[in-house]
Amino acid sequence: METRRTFLRSGAALAAAAGAGIIGPEFAPGSPAQDKASPAGVPPSLVDSRRSAPRFKLGCAAYSYRQHLEKGKSMTLEGFIDKCAEMRLDGTELTSYYFPRTDREYLISLKRRAFLLGLDISGTAVGNDFCRVSGPERDKDIAHVKTWVEHAALLGAGSIRIFAGNVPKGDTDEAARARAVAAIRECCEHAARHGVFLALENHGGITATADQLLAICRGVDSPWFGVNLDTGNFHTEDPYADLEKVAPHAVTVQVKVEVTPKSGKRQEADLKRVIDMLRAVNYRGNVVLEYEAAEEPLTAVPKWIEKLRGLL
C-alpha cells in the first residue's frame, strides 16, 4: 500500500510540474507522448501526439485594422474587440503596437470586455530583433518580450508571437542564429513561469525559409515554444511547400489572403490548401486572419472571415 501511495504522490507531482512548465508535457504521467518517438531531428517539445484530431478557433489580428488603430485614428482596441464580437469570432488578437497604455487596470478592462463578449484573447505580438550583438539594444528587446509575457498572462492570452531578426551587416547567419536562440531560450524560461507560449513567426531575416526556421526551433527546444505559422510570409520558390514543412510545429496560425512567391507576383492565397495542411497535421488552436491586402479592411475583413469560416 505504501508503494502505491508513493507512486500516486510522485505521479501527482510530475503532473503538477508539467502544468507549471517545470518539466515538458512529454514527460507528464500518462502522456501518449512518452510512448511515441519524435521524428528525426525534431525537438519533442514541438511534437504533441495528443493532437488526435484538428480543431480550429477563428480569430482576427488587430494589425488587420492598423490604419484605423494608429494613434489618433478612428478605432480603439475596445472598438476592435467589439468588431470581433460582431463577426462572431472565437478570439481576438491584440497586437501590442496599438495599446494606448499597459497598466494593470487597463489590461484587466480589456480582459473583462472580451470575456463579456464571449471572446478569448488569443494572443498578442511584439516587435523584436534577437540577432543584435550584445549591448543595450539587445538587452532592451529581451526585456521588452519578457514584459509582454507578463502582460499576456494578465490578459489571459496563451501566446505571444515574436520575431527572430535580421543578420547584422558583416555578420553570418550562424552567429546571428546562435544569438537568437540564446535570447529565445532566456525568454522561454520567463514565459514558462507565466504559462505563456512564445510563437516564433516566419518573418524574413533568419526565418525566411522553412529550414532556417526549423533550425532555430531545434536550437531552442523548449516546451513553451513553437511556431507562429504566417501563411503569407514565405517568399520562396514554393511557399506552400515551406508552409507544409513547418505546419506540424505550429502553436498559432496567422492567415494572409495573399502569397508572394520568389517570382514576385502577388496572388490570392489558396486558403483551402492551407486549411487542408492544418487538418493533415491535426492542428488544434487559433486560426487568426491578419489582413494586409489593398481593399479597405472595414469591408474586406468580414468577407474574408466568412470565407475562412466556411473552410473551417
13-35 pLDDT, tens digit per residue, is 444 444 444 334 443 433 433 33
Per-residue model confidence (pLDDT) at position 17: 43
Chain segment 267-288, per-residue pLDDT in tens: 999 999 999 999 999 999 999 9
Does residue 47 have a pLDDT over 90? no
Would you state the pLDDT for residue 128?
93
Poorest-pLDDT segment among 6-10, 128-132, 136-140, 307-311? 6-10
CA dihedral 142, 144, 149, 151 (to 10 degrees): 170
Q: What is the mean pLDDT of the chain?
A: 87
Classified as helix, coil or strand, 2 is: helix
Examine the pLDDT at 12 and tell me if it is beyond 50: no
Cα 114 from Cα 134, distance rounded (Å): 39
Among 16-25, 159-168, 262-271, the minimum mean pLDDT is found in: 16-25
Which pLDDT value is given to residue 51? 75
pLDDT value for 49: 66
Average pLDDT of the segment spanning 115-134: 95
- Exposed, middle or buried, 6 (CB in 10 Å: 0-12/13-18/19+)? exposed
Residue 4 in this model has a pLDDT that exceeds 70:
no
Single-letter code of the amino acid located at 213: L
CA distance 188 to 43: 15
More confident residue, 48 or 22: 48
What does the pLDDT read at residue 45? Answer: 53
Per-residue confidence band for 221, with pLDDT thresholds at 50, 70 and 90:
confident
Domains (ranges, CATH) in the chain?
54-311 (3.20.20.150)
The pLDDT score that the predictor gives to residue 15 is: 46
Residue range 56-84, pLDDT digits in tens: 999 999 999 999 998 778 999 999 999 99
Looking at residues 162-170, what average pLDDT do you find? 93
Q: H-helix or E-strand containing 273? A: helix 271-280
> pLDDT category, 41, cuts 50, 70, 90?
low
Name the percent of the chain lying above pLDDT 70.
84
Looking at mean pLDDT, say which of 18-32, 60-74, 102-116, 218-232 comes out highest.
102-116
